Amino acid sequence: MSKHIEFNRISPDDDSLYVTKDLRINGKKLTTPTKSLNLSKTNSKLLFNDKTKGINELYKRFSLTKDSKKNSIYSVLNFPDKLDKLNYELNSLTRKTNTDKEINILFIEYDDTKYPEKKPLEFILDTAYEYSDITPLPIIPKLPQRINSESEFEKYKTFLEESVEIIETLNHKPIMGIVPPALLFIPDIIDIYAKKEIDAFVFDFDGKTPLSMRQTIRSFMRSLKEHDLLENSFIHSINANQGRFNKDANVVGAKDILSFGFGFDSMGEKHKPLKGPKEFFEKLKNRDENKLRLFNKEDYGYYKLSPNEIQEIYPDDSIIKMDSFANENLDVRILQKSFNLEQIGLESIRLREIIDDQRALEYLSNKPCVKKEDYKKIAKMKKEVARKQTLLPSF
C-alpha cells in the first residue's frame, strides 16, 4: 500500500479543470499550480527565483544492455567506483536545494528491448527512492509502440506490479505512477494504480503539446475521476512541447502552460532529446542564431527577439537583469532558460488566486496569444471528462 499524499485544501474551478491545492509530500508543503525546476549538470548555471522554488526534478538515463558501456546499469552494479560517481553527482545536485522545504523527484529512464531483471530493477527503484520525496516508477521510452497488443500490455502490467511491490518493501514515501501516452491502455494503468492506493501521477507528453493530445488527456482525467482521484491526487507532467515557431512568425502561443487548464497540478521539464539527421542539427544551429525565445506571461506568447528587442516584453519582476542578455561574457541560452522557468513559475503562482476567485476561464480568454479554438478546448474539457468512458476495441 502506497503512503498517501496529505491534502489540506482542494479548490477546483467550477467551469474548468483548473485547480489549486495545498498539500504535503513527505512532510513538505506544496501549493499548486506550480512549475518544477530542473536539477542537472547542464543546468548548474541556471538562475532560480526563490519565489518559484518548491519542486525539483532530477533525471537519469540508463541502458540495461550488459554490453553497453554508456549508462549501463550493470557497470554501476559491478564497479563500486561507478556507483560512487553516480551518488556523488546526485548528492551534489540535491545539496543545492533546501531539503527541508523543497520536494525532489528523481526520474529514471531506461531503454532496453526487455524489461529488467530483478537486480537492475531493484537498483533503479532504490536509487529513485533514495533521492526522491515521492518515488516515481521507471520511465520507458517509446512505450506506446511497445505495448501494441494485449499480450504486450500484460508484460507491462506485470512490470508495474513488480515495481510497486519492490518499493513497498522499504516504503515510507508516496509512490508516483508513470502514465505513458498509450491511449488504449490508460484506463487499465490507472486501475492498477488505484488498487495500489497510489495518489500521485506523472503524465508523459512525449514531446507533444497538450492541445495535440486531448483524447489521451481526456482518457487519463476521466479514468482518475472514475476512481475519485481527479482532484484527490497530485498530477505532474513532463516532456510538454512549448509550441513551434514557423519561420515567418516572431511570436507563437505558449502551449505548455495551458496544461494547467487540462487538470495538471505541476508542469515539469522537457527531458526528451531532439532527434534527427545531422543536417537537421546544423540548420538548427545556424538558424536565427541571435534570436531568443522568451515567454510573456501577460499574453501567453513565446517571442522570438534579439537581445536589443527584449525591452518590448521585459517584466519588472524578473531577477535577471535585462542588460544581462547583451553581455557577451554570459551565455544567453542559460539566461533564456532561467527567464522562462522563472516567468512560468511566477505565472503559476498568480493562477492560484485567480482559480480561487473562480476567474480562470475569464482570465484565459483575455490572453491575446491564446487562440479561440484552444480556449474552447480547455473550456469544455471538464464536461467531457464527466462523461462515461467509451469502450475502445480490443485486439
Digit-coded pLDDT (tens) for 340-371: 999 999 999 999 999 999 999 999 999 999 99
Residue 273 has pLDDT above 50, yes or no: yes
> Rounded to an integer, what distance in angstroms lies between the CA atom of residue 150 and that of residue 393?
11
Q: Helices in the chain by DSSP H: which ranges?
A: 73-78, 80-94, 118-130, 143-146, 150-168, 186-195, 214-226, 278-286, 332-356, 360-365, 372-386
Average pLDDT, stretch 202-230? 97
In a domain, residue 357? The reply is yes
CA-wise closest residue to 74 among 108, 43, 117:
117
Per-residue pLDDT tens over the stretch 77-88: 989 999 999 999
In a domain, residue 178? The reply is yes
pLDDT of residue 175: 97
Average pLDDT, stretch 48-76? 83
Residue type, 281: F
DSSP helix/strand/coil, 230:
coil
Segment among 17-26, 71-80, 155-164, 329-338 with least mean pLDDT = 71-80
- Inter-residue contact 245 to 252 (CB < 8 Å): yes
Total domain count, the chain: 1
Higher pLDDT, 117 or 195: 195
**Cα-based angle 55, 60, 66 (whole degrees, multiple of 5):** 160
pLDDT of residue 170: 81
Average pLDDT, stretch 195-205? 97
pLDDT of residue 274: 66
Residue 243 has pLDDT above 50, yes or no: yes
CATH number of residue 263's parent domain = 3.20.20.105
Four-residue CA torsion sign, 20, 179, 55, 47? negative
pLDDT of residue 395: 46
> Rounded to an integer, what distance in angstroms lies between the CA atom of residue 255 and that of residue 243?
5
Cis peptide upstream of residue 315 (ω within 30 degrees of 0):
no
pLDDT of residue 66: 55
- Inter-residue contact 298 to 257 (CB < 8 Å): no
In a domain, residue 1? The reply is no
Higher pLDDT, 141 or 17: 17
In a domain, residue 395? The reply is no
CA-wise closest residue to 310 among 330, 331, 332, 328:
332
Residue 65 has pLDDT above 70, yes or no: no
β 19-25/28-32 pair status = antiparallel
> Rounded to an integer, what distance in angstroms lies between the CA atom of residue 388 and that of residue 172?
35
Average pLDDT, stretch 128-154? 94
Q: Is the pTM of this model over 0.75?
A: yes
**Cα-based angle 174, 180, 185 (whole degrees, multiple of 5):** 105
Q: What strands lie across the sheet with 28-32, from one edge to the other? A: 6-12, 19-25, 28-32
> Rounded to an integer, what distance in angstroms lies between the CA atom of residue 390 and that of residue 238?
26
Residue type, 131: Y
Higher pLDDT, 115 or 281: 115
Over the chain, what is the mean pLDDT?
91
Q: Among residues of the chain, what percentage have pLDDT more than 90?
A: 78
pLDDT of residue 119: 92
> Rounded to an integer, what distance in angstroms lies between the CA atom of residue 138 and that of residue 100?
25
In a domain, residue 264? The reply is yes
In a domain, residue 42? The reply is yes
In a domain, residue 332? The reply is yes
pLDDT of residue 63: 80
| Half-sphere exposure of residue 224: CA atoms within 13 angstroms, side-chain side | 26
Average pLDDT, stretch 370-380? 98
pLDDT of residue 286: 56
- Angstrom distances, CA of residue 304 to CA of 252, 286, 299, 336, 394: 9, 15, 14, 11, 45
Average pLDDT, stretch 130-149? 93
- Angstrom distances, CA of residue 256 to CA of 40, 231, 264, 363, 370: 21, 21, 11, 17, 12
Average pLDDT, stretch 138-167? 94
pLDDT of residue 45: 78
pLDDT of residue 110: 85
Residue 389 has pLDDT above 80, yes or no: no
Average pLDDT, stretch 310-333? 95
Give me the domain span that covers residue 138: 6-386
| Residue 316 backbone phi and psi in degrees, to 5 | -85, -15
Residue 17 has pLDDT above 90, yes or no: yes
For the CA atoms of 114, 118, 121, 122, what is the dihedral angle to 10 degrees?
Answer: 180
Can you tell me which residue has the cell 506490479? 161
CA-wise closest residue to 257 among 249, 267, 265:
267
Average pLDDT, stretch 172-184? 95
pLDDT of residue 174: 96
For residue 228, the tally of other CB atoms under 10 A from its CB is 11
In a domain, residue 201? The reply is yes
